[in-house]
Amino acid sequence: MALDPEKVLVYKRYLAKSAHRMIERDVARERIKQQLDVLRDMHPEEMKSKIDELERRIAATIQREGTLRQHHASEDIFHRELRDRMSMLEGRINKYLSTREERLVRITALEEKIAVRLSDKNEQIATLRMDIEHLEKIARELEEEPKGRKKLAKLQERIATIKKEISSKESTDPSPL
């Protein structure tokens, strides 16, 4: 199965957001580390203002870490739901495709049965028409003979019967299988 371009874009956005958050976290930690290094080298008078600034940065970093955790938790829930929906939809698609294939097989079988019945019927009609032609030829010959009147009457009855049979075969619908 090929990759869905929309799914790939969602996944790329998720990775980009996660990478951006990780970079922000690392930058905040690096700033705190730099502040601590500066404090180690400082005089006590300057230290109070720097400690206040450091406390603000630590509080901001802690807050940012908390929001990152919240975002991560909500994204995990969203992705779990999205994955579940995707698997449900894939199941539906697979069921639809298998049903479609089964339906196509049944339709093909029915079409073959109809074609066989039509071809059998057409062959029977063609045979009956050939019989009529042959019987009409015989009837013309019997008309010329004076003694063939009884045979001619039976022959004409047979021709009429065959013509009725042909018309009934031509008018019947082959669809009831």
Average pLDDT of the segment spanning 149-171: 85
What's the CA angle centered on 151, arms 161 and 144, to 5 degrees? 115
pLDDT digits (tens, 9 = 90+) for 20-68: 888 888 888 888 788 777 777 777 777 777 778 878 888 888 888 888 8
pLDDT for residue 154: 85
Q: Six-digit token pair at 149?
A: 């009147």
Q: pLDDT > 90: what percent of the chain?
A: 1
| pLDDT tops 60 at residue 162 | yes
Residue 58 Cα to chain centre, angstroms: 54
pLDDT band for position 173 (50/70/90)? Answer: low
3-state secondary structure of 1: coil
Q: Tell me if 174 sits within 8 A of 118, measured CB to CB.
A: yes
Q: Six-digit token pair at 44?
A: 């006590």
pTM: 0.37
| pLDDT tops 50 at residue 176 | no
Q: How far apart are CA 34 and CA 54, in angstroms?
A: 10
| pLDDT tops 80 at residue 106 | yes
| pLDDT tops 50 at residue 88 | yes
pLDDT band for position 126 (50/70/90)? Answer: confident
